[in-house]
């Protein structure tokens, strides 16, 4: 049965802070008792550039990124230039608790028999429904200077 404790969520939060430092600000909260919700609240990435826009497969309508979106963590390759960033966040969410001495992630799901057995669920968002993602322009300038690109 899926369960994640407060200490494991704290381990994920600390690992994200250690990995991304001042480049991104995260909201990492427990989602019920069975999962963790990770929201990228602000950072140096410009997610408004069209990479997170999606097209409805039934109506063909294009949904523009408006500061909030839920990511499909099973198909992070859908997100183009941000695939590497989202994959790293997912990897940290699945490994940090075990590395900190907490729960080790496992997934023994068997969808054919409708049997789901995993350590905990991970949901990744950009922004929140009540607070949109913000671009950190000062951080963007700092990052560009570190990489040797004139801002």
Q: Where are the domains of the chain?
A: 6-146
Tens-level pLDDT at each residue, the chain (151 residues): 889 999 999 999 999 999 998 899 999 999 999 999 999 999 999 999 888 888 888 999 988 999 999 999 889 988 888 999 999 999 999 999 999 999 999 999 887 887 888 999 999 999 999 999 999 877 665 554 545 444 4
Three-class SS of residue 91?
helix
| CA dist list (Å): 15 to 33, 70, 96, 130 | 20, 21, 6, 25
Tell me which residue of 89, 120, 122, 124 sits closest to 105, measured CA to CA: 120
Write down the pTM of the prediction. Answer: 0.85
Tell me which residue of 48, 33, 42, 52 sits closest to 119, measured CA to CA: 33
């Amino acid at each position: 049965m899926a369960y994640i404790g407060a200490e494991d969520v704290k381990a994920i939060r600390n690992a994200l802070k250690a990995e991304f430092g001042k480049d991104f600000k995260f909201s990492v909260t427990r989602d019920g008792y069975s999962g963790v919700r990770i929201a990228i609240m602000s950072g140096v990435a410009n997610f408004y550039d069209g990479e997170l826009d999606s097209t409805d497969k039934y109506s063909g309508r294009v949904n523009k990124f408006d500061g909030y979106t839920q990511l499909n963590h099973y198909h992070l390759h859908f997100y183009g230039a941000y695939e590497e960033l989202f994959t790293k966040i997912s990897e940290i969410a699945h490994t940090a608790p075990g590395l900190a001495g907490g729960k080790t992630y496992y997934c023994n799901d068997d969808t054919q028999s409708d049997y789901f057995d995993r350590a905990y669920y991970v949901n990744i968002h950009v922004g929140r429904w009540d607070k949109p993602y913000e671009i950190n322009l000062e951080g963007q300038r700092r990052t560009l200077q570190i990489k040797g690109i004139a801002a």
